[in-house]
Amino acid sequence: MKAIFKRKDSKPSSDESSLDNALLRPAVTVERISNYSHKSPKLISSKSSSPSLGGTMPEIAMPEPPDPISKPAAYLRSIYAVRERTRLVLEEAKVNALNHFDVDLSKFKDTADYVVAIIKRDFQGDYASIPPHGRWQHFEVGGRPRVTQLLQSWPTSIDNQERARRLIDLFLVSVLLDAGAGTKWSYKSKESGKVYSRSEGLAVASLEMFKAGTFSSNPTQPHQVDAGGLNKMNVETLAKGMQVSDTNPMSGLEGRAGLLIRLASALQNAEIFGVDGRPGNMIDYLLSHPTTQAASVPVILLPTLWSVLMDGLSSIWPATRTTIHGVSLGDAWPCQAMPRSPPAQPWETIVPFHKLTQWLCYSLMVPMTKLLNVHFAGAELMTGLPEYRNGGLLVDTGLLTLKEEDRQRGLKIYHEIVGDGNAIEVVPTFPPSDDVIVEWRAVTVGFLDDLLVAVNAGLGLQGAQQLTLAQMLEAGTWKGGREIAQVSRPITGGPPIGIISDGTVF
C-alpha cells in the first residue's frame, strides 16, 4: 500500500503559482478580498460570517423546499431532497441492513485515515489552498494552466463578464461530456501531443473542440457555445472531436451526442440563455434575479442556480428516466432500501442524486467566483457526488462489500458484455438503473457527509479552518478513490463495481 502514498504533484510549486497569477492578472482583474484566492473560491453558508462582506454577513434565508406531499416531482428534483432521501439509506447501512452490501463500520476509520493521509501528503498543512471540486482542475492536467492561458489569449478589451460567460459556455459543455468514457479510450492533445484519458482526457478534448469553434455558430467568435453551433452536432462530429475509432472506443458516445443535441433546444429559452442561446448568458440572468443580493459583492442563492440548471436543462435528459405524474425526475431512481409503497407514497420509493447537475453547480460556481467575485449562499446544500470514484473508495477500503449473490449476477453481466476472451480485471457490472448501483450511490452520499466530519478531525481543523465538502471531494475522496483503484486494478484503474455507461449519468 505504500505506493498509494507516493507524493503527487497536485500542489503547484510557488514558481508555478506565480506563473499562474502572472498569466491571469493582465487578462482578468479580480478584487482581492479576505479569505479569497484564485485557488479557493469563497462559497458561503447561508448562516456564516463573511469578512469580505463587511464582517458578520446577515443571515440569508433559503427558499423552503417544495412540499413532497403536494408537489412530489418538484421536491425530488430539488437539491434539498438529495441529502434528505439518501440519509434514509445510510441509516439502513449503519445497522448493516442494506439489500446488496454488507457494511463493516469498523473500516470507517480506515477509510477516513486513508483520505486524511492523501490530503496531508499533497498539501502538507496548506489546507486553505485546496480548491473546491470542479471541472477547472481537470483542464490543468499535466501542470499546464490551460484555462489561464485561454483567458490570456483573449484581448484585454473583453470584460470580465464576457470572460465568465465564455468559461461557463466551455465548462457546461465539458461537464455534459464528462460521463465515464471507459477504460479503453484516450485523447492525444493536438497542442502538446500528450495522451490523456478519463475525466482529464475528456476535459482537454472538449477544450480543444471549444477553441476550434466546434460548438459555435459564429465564425468570428469560435470561443463560445450557442444553440446554432450545437444544432450542427451529431455522433460523427463528436466522434471526430474526441478521436473515437474502432481502436479507441468510448463508452456512451451516442448518449453524449444526444445530450448536446438536446442542449441546443434547451438553450432556446431566451429568458435564461439570451437571444443567442449561450449557456454563459445565465450569468446575466442570475445577477439580475430578484433573489440575488447586491451587497459589496453579489450574493447568489444556490437554489437559484440549481433552478436554472434543473429547469433550464430539464429537456436534455433522456425520456426514459423516472417520472412522477408525467414529470421527468432526471437522475432519480427507485430503490428497494427506501420505504415501500404501499403503505408509503410512490414518491417515497425514489432516491434522487442529480449527479451531473451537482457537478455542473460545483464547476460553474468557480469561474463566477474567480472572475466576477460572486458569492454563493447555501452552498452547504450540495452533497458529495454519487459516482464511482467516491463510491469505489468505500468498497476498496472494505467499508462496503457487495453481497455474493449480487456479485455473481454482476460477473455474469460483465462476461455477457465483454466476452471471456477480452476479460481484464473482471468486476461485477450493472446498468445504472440496477438496484445495486442505486443503493451504492445512495449510501455513498451519506458516508461522504460522515467522512467530512472525520477527515476534518483527523486533520485537526476546527471552525472556519475546516475543509468544505467540495474541498474534501477534490483533495481526498475522489482522488483517493482513483488512486486505490489504480493499486487494486493496475491495468484498467477502473472501479471495483462496473457501471454500463450510456454517457448521461456518470
Average pLDDT for 319-329: 86
pLDDT in tens, 63-110: 999 999 999 999 999 999 999 999 999 999 999 999 999 999 999 999
Q: Does 4 have pLDDT greater than 50? A: no
Q: Flag whether pLDDT at 455 surpasses 80.
A: yes
d(CA 93, CA 337): 9
Whether the ω angle into residue 431 lies within 30 degrees of 0, i.e. cis, is: no
- Dihedral sign computed on CA atoms, order 243, 244, 249, 255: positive
DSSP secondary structure string for all residues of 2-48 = GGGGSPPTTSPPHHHHHHHHHHHHHH------TT--SSS--EE-TT-
pLDDT digits (tens, 9 = 90+) for 456-471: 999 999 999 999 999 9
Average pLDDT of the chain?
Answer: 88
Arithmetic mean of pLDDT, 360-364: 96
User: Do the beta carbons of residue 104 and residue 436 sit within 8 Å?
Assistant: no
pLDDT at 422: 74
Q: What is the pLDDT of residue 19?
A: 34
Span 297-316, average pLDDT: 94
Which helix (H) or strand (E) segment is 446 a member of? helix 435-459
Exposure string of 352-366, with b = 16+ CB inside 10 Å and e = fewer, is bbbbbbbbbbbbbbb
User: Which is higher by pLDDT, 149 or 321?
Assistant: 149
193-225: pLDDT as tens digits: 999 998 899 999 999 999 999 999 999 999 999
Tell me, what's the pLDDT at 3? 42
| CA–CA gap between residue 211 and residue 437 (Å, rounded) | 36
Which pTM was predicted? 0.87
Rounded to 5°, the CA angle 381-385-390 comes to 135
Q: Answer whether residue 273 shows pLDDT above 50.
A: yes
**Whether pLDDT at 10 is above 80:** no
pLDDT digits (tens, 9 = 90+) for 376-431: 999 999 999 999 999 999 999 999 999 999 999 999 999 998 877 777 899 999 99
- What are the sequence ranges of the domains in the chain? 2-7+14-52+65-499
Question: How far apart are alpha carbons 148 and 213 in whole angstroms?
Answer: 18
